[in-house]
Amino acid sequence: MDKGLLIVLSGPSGVGKGTVCAALRKRLPNLVYSVSATTRKPRAGEVDGVNYFFKSHDEFKHMIEHNELLEWAQYVSNFYGTPRTFVEETLASGKDVILEIEVQGAMKVKQQFDEGIFIFLMPPSLDELRSRIVGRGTEALDQVNQRMLTAVDEIKLLDQYDYAVVNDQVELACDRIISILQAEHCRKERIMPKIQQWIDEVSK
């Protein structure tokens, strides 16, 4: 069975990763979403086990110590991480998995899954990014300023990614990502093992 593709979608806080990922999953129902674990408090409407696995700091540290996370990172004052077993088993079953994670986490995944597809979601501008963060109404001014400083540092890591997608409109961003995935499934490096198997069978 062909191994699934690991798609890593990340970008600055407030760029719309969650919104784009949700819209993408509606259009690609076979795309498996990997739910992250976090120590941050749930926002209005978020459900444990659906949006995130919400953990206490002690529970998260236990997961780190027992190597239960594919990656983890501290962002501002909270921890985020990706449960390892679910991702590995889903890829092995032939299904594509999408990780919607912070930039620090994406860099750690890259060290272990160099064959993954790394997509950086960009804001149309830094002014628009700040407006989106302020519009959420979930952070105080000093937290907004900290997120903007962090965003600049994260954008500097763009050259570590395979693709950059601007989130000017959600549906257009989804169109671009779907085109990327279609192209990646057609890469000769992914197809050649199957072709070689055909050749070997004919040559017997």
Residue pair 82/101 in contact (Cβ under 8 Å)? The answer is yes
Residue closest to 101 by CA, chosen among 190, 23, 168, 21: 21
- Over the stretch 116-138, which tens digit does the pLDDT of each residue have? 999 999 999 999 999 888 888 77
Q: Which residues pair with 83 in a beta bridge?
A: 69
Predicted pLDDT at 136? 82
For the chain, which ranges sit under pLDDT 70?
A: 1
Alpha-carbon Rg for the chain, nearest whole angstrom, is: 18
Question: Please, which residues have CB within 8 angstroms of residue 55's CB and are 6 or more apart in sequence?
Answer: 37, 38, 39, 63, 79
**What pLDDT, on the 0 to 100 scale, is given for residue 45?**
92
Question: Where does 6-34+96-203 sit in CATH, by number?
Answer: 3.40.50.300
Which pLDDT score, from 0 to 100, does residue 68 have?
93
Q: What is the pLDDT of residue 143?
A: 87
This prediction has a pTM of 0.82
Does residue 124 come out as left (phi exceeding 0), alpha (psi in the -120 to 50 range) or beta? alpha
69 has which bridge partners? 83
pLDDT (0 to 100) of residue 104 = 86
Contact 52, 38 (CB under 8 A): yes
pLDDT value at residue 1: 57
